[in-house]
Each structure stands twice: as C-alpha cells, then as structure tokens.
Amino acid sequence: MCRKVVNNAAVLYFYKNYNFYFMEDQQQAANSSLFQLNLDASNSYTLRSAASWAKVLGVVSIILGILFILMGIVIQSTMSKYSNYGGEFRNSNSLAADFGMIIYVIMGLIFIVAAMFSINFGNRIIKALKTNDQEALSSGFAACRNFFAFWAILTIISLLFMLLGVAGLATQ
C-alpha cells in the first residue's frame, strides 16, 4: 500500500512538473492547442514592443506624408514663378509644376494612409494585451495584415510601372 502511494505521488509529480502526458492527455493537449494560442511573457513583450514601434512608424509616416504634401505645394509655387517669365517653355513649366505637385500629394497621402494602418495595429494590440481580449488581438492582427497588404499592393503597382518604363526604353 505504501509503495503504491509513493508511485502515485511520483507519477503526479512528473505529470505536473515535467509535462509528462499520458496518451489520451497528449491527444487532448494537441486538440486544444490547435484552436487556442497562449501568449507567454516573452511573446507578450515582443508583441507589445512591435506594437509600440508600429505606433512610432505611424507618427513618423504622418509627418513624412505632411512634408511630402508641403514639398509638392512649394515646388508647384516655385516652378509657377518661372513660368511667368515667358518664353517658349511657359506652358511646359506650368504643366510640370502641376504634375510634380500631384505626384508629391499622392505620395504624401499614401504615407498617411499607411500610417493609419500602422497606428491601428499598434493601438489594437496594446489594448488587447492590457485587457487580455481575444477579439481585440484578432482585430490588431487584421490591422497588421491590412498594413502589409497595402504596402504589397503598392509595391506590385510600382513594379508594374517600372516594367512599363523599361519596356518603353527598350522599344526606343
């Protein structure tokens, strides 16, 4: 009787402290971990750090977007001054100034939209970690996906424009 109690205590000790699972426990643990993720302290810290950096990136991107828009306006007004002097390039200077402003404004808006995705990711993840809310965590990851999808689509569009430019140079 005494030996059986000692053996049961040893099994219980290994079961609790060394994750010594029996066959049915292993299957149950595998099924529960398939649908449920647990964040340990290290993963929580890493995710919180990534969210903080995402917020920093968002603020810097907003500033950069505003600077792009301001540069577009400054370049347009500066180049418009030179079109007032007349000459044979008067209309082309005005057209180039307007086109340059449009390009800079579009670039500024792209950075501002990307900043909103980045800030949303940071805010939602930090809220989810503070409140231990699974829905907020899912929402934060969805915002992260939107951020990367936005930049992936813009990168693909940029590559297409570059390929069109290279194809145009090759035909000349």
Q: Do 133 and 65 share a structural domain?
A: yes
Question: pLDDT of 50-108, one tens digit each?
Answer: 999 999 999 999 999 999 999 999 988 887 776 666 556 566 677 778 888 999 999 99
Check if the beta carbon of residue 125 is closer than 8 Å to that of residue 48: yes
Q: Do 160 and 99 share a structural domain?
A: yes
Query: What's the number of domains the chain is made of?
Result: 2
pTM: 0.69
Q: Do 46 and 31 share a structural domain?
A: no
Q: Do 101 and 17 share a structural domain?
A: no
pLDDT on residue 80: 74
> Could you list the residue range(s) of the whole structural domain that residue 149 is in?
40-171
pLDDT on residue 19: 47
Q: Is 9 exposed, middle or buried (0-12, 13-18, 19+ CB in 10 A)?
A: exposed
Cα distance between residue 161 and residue 145, in whole Å: 24
The pLDDT-based confidence of 47 (bands split at 50, 70, 90) is: very high
Q: Do 30 and 47 share a structural domain?
A: no
DSSP state of 86: -
Q: Do 145 and 129 share a structural domain?
A: yes
Check if the beta carbon of residue 112 is closer than 8 Å to that of residue 61: yes
